[in-house]
Amino acid sequence: MSDPRKLFIKTYGCQMNVYDSERMAEALGPSGYVTTDTPDDADMILLNTCHIREKAAEKVYSELGRLKALKADKPDLKIGVAGCVAQAEGAEILRRQPSVDLVVGPQSYHRLPDLEARARKGEAALDTDFPEEDKFDKLADRPKAKRGPTAFLTVQEGCDKFCAFCVVPYTRGAEVSRPAARLIAEAEDLVARGVAEITLLGQNVNAYHGTGPDGGEWGLARLIRRLAEIDGLERIRFTTSHPNDMEDDLIAAHGDCPKLMPYLHLPVQSGSDRVLKAMNRKHTAAQYVALIDRIRAARPDLLLSGDFIVGFPGETDQDFEDTMELVRTVGYGQAYSFKYSPRPGTPAAERKGQVPAEVASDRLQRLQALLTEQQKARQDAMVGQEVGVLFEKPGRLDGQLVGKSDHLHAVHALAPADLIGKVARVRIVESAPNSLKGALI
């Protein structure tokens, strides 16, 4: 029996890419590949790319330039580009970087074994179509190996919102929801292999409307309630959501489904109605705040996370102050904030009124200072509280374990190793900049 080939995958971007990378590795398993943690001894290197941030393509080409030298020393090495940059750039990648052997979009990676076989024959292998068949139907069953205590599960892909700044509708396609029966089966399989917490993923995960086992349409709340019936599944999370898809039954689930954790990532992007309209968000700041009030009424201990873009074309000082006021009104336990970066092919990239870089940088610093202040206040308020912690791995100190709280705070505590993969009650005794210290109860 020949030695297995080694596969190295470098993953950029969001949690959905993490999930996709796992499935790519599984798809190539029957072709004789096992994963490796270093590119130096790999027989194939895959870059699973993200196209959200500025200069994403340039960063990929820079990485490919470094890998070119590795391929010069190892001619049989195969290099592939997958994900959203692959979808956006397509054949241009093969033209600009001849060392690349295959290019595959995020909706076509179930075809990786065929593309790999073509690459081994010396053929240029390119697939960036939006196939009619469901890629998840074509992927092999997931291997039965033991898993860590947390896992991602993609339930929905694509986006129909067409926010003016975003490339996702062009790289991931229209919104598609996976059938609930397949998701239940995959979740049951993950739990059987040691997973205690599952995060449901989608570009607009709360737009999930899949076919249920009964033949009817299921929303995300119904799927969550069914997954909560799985013995051994301790926790459920979901990300990323759009405010316009937060339906009543999903709000109710935050209050009546104990396994659904009190953490919600709900991007707003701006606090200015004028900017929100220019972004094509189709909601106002007041509607967003009212929605948060309803969700917090259902789950008072909810920790809220969000996304913000500053320096969107035409953003004025008053628009930015409206964003700051929204942040003060809502109060975030965690948030991600960025300077606007034009994405080729999006409506906003062609707009006049681009905000000077130095102005956008100043606004970002001010916003991040406020968000950091709120995050610290939320963490400090946890001291003295009792929380559940799912321990995931050993910590840096002897006898220490590290895990995540119900609210997704990183927590470390002295605890026996047999608690890895289990939820334990912990009292928070100290707040650090990026973590909490706890003591077992």
Residues 379/349, Cβ–Cβ less than 8 Å: no
**Which region, left, alpha or beta, applies to residue 230 given φ > 0 means left and ψ of -120 to 50 means alpha?**
beta
CATH of the structural domain 386-440, one choice from 1.20.120, 2.60.40, 3.40.50, 2.40.50: 2.40.50
Give the SS3 label for residue 194.
coil
CATH 3.40.50.12160 region(s) of the chain? 5-127
Nearest of 59, 42, 46, 50 to residue 4 by alpha carbon:
42
Residue 84 annotated as part of some ligand binding site: yes
- Residue the block writes with tokens 């967003």: 288
CB 276 within 8 A of CB 269: yes
| Distant-in-sequence contacts of 210-214, Cβ < 8 A, 24+ apart | 210/155, 210/156, 210/177, 210/178, 210/179, 210/180, 210/183, 211/177, 211/179, 211/180, 211/181, 212/179, 212/180, 212/181, 213/180, 213/181, 213/184
Q: pTM here?
A: 0.83
For residue 358, the SS3 value is helix
Query: What fold does the segment set 135-380 form as a domain?
Result: pyruvate-formate lyase- activating enzyme (3.80.30)
Q: Superfamily for 5-127?
A: Methylthiotransferase, N-terminal domain (3.40.50.12160)
> Which secondary-structure segment (H or E) carries 197?
strand 197-201
Q: Where in the chain is the domain with CATH 3.80.30.20?
A: 135-380
CA distance from start to end of the chain: 52
Please check if 257 is assigned to a binding site. no
Q: Is 14 annotated as ligand-binding?
A: yes
Cβ atoms of residues 160 and 202 within 8 Å:
no
Tens of pLDDT, residue by residue, the chain (441 residues): 467 899 999 998 777 888 889 889 988 998 999 999 999 999 999 999 887 666 667 788 889 988 988 988 888 999 999 988 888 888 888 888 889 999 998 888 888 999 999 998 888 788 877 665 565 666 666 666 678 899 999 999 889 999 999 988 888 888 999 999 999 999 999 999 999 999 999 999 999 999 999 999 999 999 999 999 999 999 999 999 999 999 999 999 999 999 999 999 999 999 999 999 999 999 999 999 999 999 999 999 999 999 999 999 999 999 999 999 999 999 999 999 999 988 878 999 888 889 999 999 999 999 999 999 999 999 999 999 999 999 999 999 999 999 999 999 999 999 999 999 999 999 999 999 889 999 999
How many Å apart are CA 166 and CA 55, to the nearest integer?
Answer: 14
Query: Could you give the residue range(s) of every CATH 2.40.50 domain in the chain?
Result: 386-440
Phi, psi of 290 (to 5 degrees): -65, -40
- 336 near 297, Cβ under 8 Å? no
Asked whether 345 and 393 are in contact (CB, 8 A), the reply is no
